[in-house]
Structures are given as C-alpha cells and as structure tokens.
Amino acid sequence: MISSTTNIRVRYAETDKMGIVYHTNYFVWFEMCRVEMLDNIGLSYRDLESRGYLLPVLDISASYKKSAHFDDRLTVTCFIDEPPTLRINISYEVRRSDELLVTGSSRHAFMSPEGRPLKPPKDIIQHFETYFPR
C-alpha cells in the first residue's frame, strides 16, 4: 500500500455562507494529497506532465460526515491499495485530529496533452509495483 498525509489549514476563501467549508474544496485537497503522495515515492507530478503524461480525474466522489470551519487544522490522507494498471484508484480521508470529516475516492488514467488516452509509462508502473511486494 502507498499512503501519504497532507496538512491543511482552512482558508477563508474556502468557506461559504453556511459558515463551513464549501464542499468542492475537499476535492482540491484530495489533489494536493495525490501530488504529495507521488513526491513521497519519488515521482513528481510536474515532471510527469513535462514528459507528456497528464493524469486527469475519470471519477470522483466524496461523503461528508462532519463540517470543517475556517482556520481548522486538518489532515488529508490518501491511499493506493493496489498496484495501478490502466487505472489508478485512490481513496481519501479528511480528519480534524481524530474526528473523521470526509471520505472520498478518485480514479485516474494517463492522457496526452491533446486529450488522447495513453498507456501508462512502463517505468512509472514498475516503480509503483515496488511498493506492492508479492
């Protein structure tokens, strides 16, 4: 399994008139966690893109259990449970200390800058596999 945790401090801009975090911001935090998770295993999403591999979202979802507020300190943890093949599946948990606020998941595929589906680059897949010993 690969996992990584990102620390978030809620921005004023991320609240809405309910006084809580507007629901779409969690998806932005999911993405920050994805980027840091790749960093942690020695892959830079920026480099991946300069090699011509984009990783757009195919599906995404979230379940909201509790609200977060302005200035809250949160942790976003993301997980890859199985070695990526054509698709990369990622799950997410957002917490305020040990309270679970939001869970989610996303699915990704490799795409060219022109929007064409791409086979995953071999070296990337092999690199991922080293994290899933048989």
> What is the set of active-site residues?
16
Rg (alpha carbons) of the chain, rounded to whole number: 16
List the one residue out of 1, 2, 77 whose CA is nearest residue 33: 77
Minimum distance from residue 79 beta carbon to a copy of itself (Å): 18
State how beta strands 2-9 and 73-80 pair.
antiparallel
Minimum distance from residue 29 beta carbon to a copy of itself (Å): 9
Which of residues 30 and 128 has its CB atom nearest to a copy of itself in the complex? 30
Angle subtended at Cα 68 by Cα 62 and Cα 10, rounded to the nearest 5 degrees = 105
Minimum distance from residue 22 beta carbon to a copy of itself (Å): 6
Which of residues 63 and 126 has its CB atom nearest to a copy of itself in the complex? 63
List the one residue out of 33, 43, 35 whose CA is nearest residue 120: 43
Which of residues 99 and 129 has its CB atom nearest to a copy of itself in the complex? 99
Return the number of other C-beta atoms located less than 10 Å from residue 49's C-beta.
12
Enumerate binding residues for a copy of itself (CB under 8 A): 11-13, 15-20, 22-25, 27-28, 31-32, 35, 44-46, 49, 54, 56-64, 67, 69-71, 113, 115
